[in-house]
């Protein structure tokens, strides 16, 4: 196991990509902090799955857009495990608004999307980096979106927030080097409950993709974990995960 006894914090890991990533990191030997905001029962299921693999896990409820709650979460990780080696900034939110309907984007909605998707990544990274710097090593992987790279996504606010994450990955990679590597993944449409209200999108996305299918959470988790375990000389990079949907 490549991550034997290392400690990972995975934000938004009650379900979906976060849960898949937490479990995959545990399979590589990591102990995991499972972060959630509302889905306590599902977070417990993630913890149970990790413990079934013989690894340790704790649940920490924290809104990543709240700097104080983030600091408490990292403190809990250190209290429980003594260190923090890996941070996966997966927690995110959106508003579903067509690009043409700009008047439907409220200031409150815009601010909430940026608070979680942008401030949350910064707050979590800053708090974890304090520990990682003291240790002399660490790895951060941000979960952006293909919407941060091309004109796509659930709303202008969401796309703009994910573009900010892509750029922040580069600036943090410079700021935290050479001790901490910072990379990013940019998934396309994922078959999760988040997209369950849009079942008509699955065949459309699959048809446009070169690989002719829609990604599962495990597809994204696999790339995230590879950036942690097998990319020692890679930092500041964003990896699109779209099955070849945006090659043209």
Identify the CATH number of the domain in which residue 72 sits. Answer: 3.40.50.720
What DSSP string runs through 186-228? EE--B-SGGGTT-TTHHHHHHHHSTT-S-B-HHHHHHHHHHHH
Which are the catalytic amino acids? 158
> Nearest CA to 17 among 186, 148, 209, 138?
186
Contact in structure between 105 and 97 (CB atoms under 8 Å)? yes
In-domain check, residue 64: yes
The sign of the torsion formed by the CA atoms of 37, 42, 43, 46 equals negative
pLDDT at 202: 78
In-domain check, residue 248: no
Rounded CA-CA distance 118/172 in Å is 13
In-domain check, residue 145: yes
In-domain check, residue 1: no
How high is the mean pLDDT in each 10-residue block of the chain (248 residues)? 96 98 98 96 98 98 98 98 98 96 97 98 98 98 97 95 98 98 95 69 85 94 98 97 90
In-domain check, residue 117: yes
Task: State the pTM of this model.
Answer: 0.96
In-domain check, residue 104: yes
pLDDT at 195: 67
Rounded CA-CA distance 15/238 in Å is 23
pLDDT at 194: 65
pLDDT at 89: 98
Rounded CA-CA distance 224/3 in Å is 13
Rounded CA-CA distance 38/19 in Å is 14
In total, how many domains does the chain have? 1
pLDDT at 1: 84
Tokens 């988040």, residue located: 194
In-domain check, residue 177: yes
Domain that holds residue 113: 7-240
In-domain check, residue 70: yes
């Amino acid at each position: 196991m490549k991550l034997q006894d290392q400690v990972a914090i995975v934000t938004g890991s009650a379900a979906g990509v976060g849960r898949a990533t937490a479990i995959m990191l545990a399979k590589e030997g990591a102990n995991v902090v499972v972060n959630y905001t509302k889905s306590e029962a599902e977070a417990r299921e993630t913890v149970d799955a990790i413990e079934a693999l013989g690894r340790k896990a704790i649940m920490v409820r924290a809104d990543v857009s709240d700097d104080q709650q983030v600091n408490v979460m990292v403190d809990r990780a250190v209290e429980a495990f003594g260190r923090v080696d890996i941070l996966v900034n997966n927690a995110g939110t959106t508003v579903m608004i067509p690009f043409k309907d700009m008047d439907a984007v409220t200031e409150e909605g815009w601010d909430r999307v940026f608070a979680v998707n942008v401030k949350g990544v910064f707050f979590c990274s800053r708090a974890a980096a304090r520990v990682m710097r003291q240790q002399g090593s660490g790895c951060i992987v941000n979960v952006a979106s293909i919407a941060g790279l091309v004109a796509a996504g659930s709303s202008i606010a969401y796309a703009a927030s994910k573009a900010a994450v892509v750029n922040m990955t580069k600036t943090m990679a410079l700021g935290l080097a050479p001790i901490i590597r910072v990379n990013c993944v940019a998934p396309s449409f994922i078959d999760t409950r988040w997209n369950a209200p849009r079942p008509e999108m699955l065949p459309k996305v699959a048809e446009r993709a070169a690989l002719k299918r829609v990604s599962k959470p495990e597809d994204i988790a696999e790339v995230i974990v590879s950036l942690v375990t097998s990319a020692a000389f890679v930092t500041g990079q964003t990896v699109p995960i779209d099955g070849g949907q945006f090659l043209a």
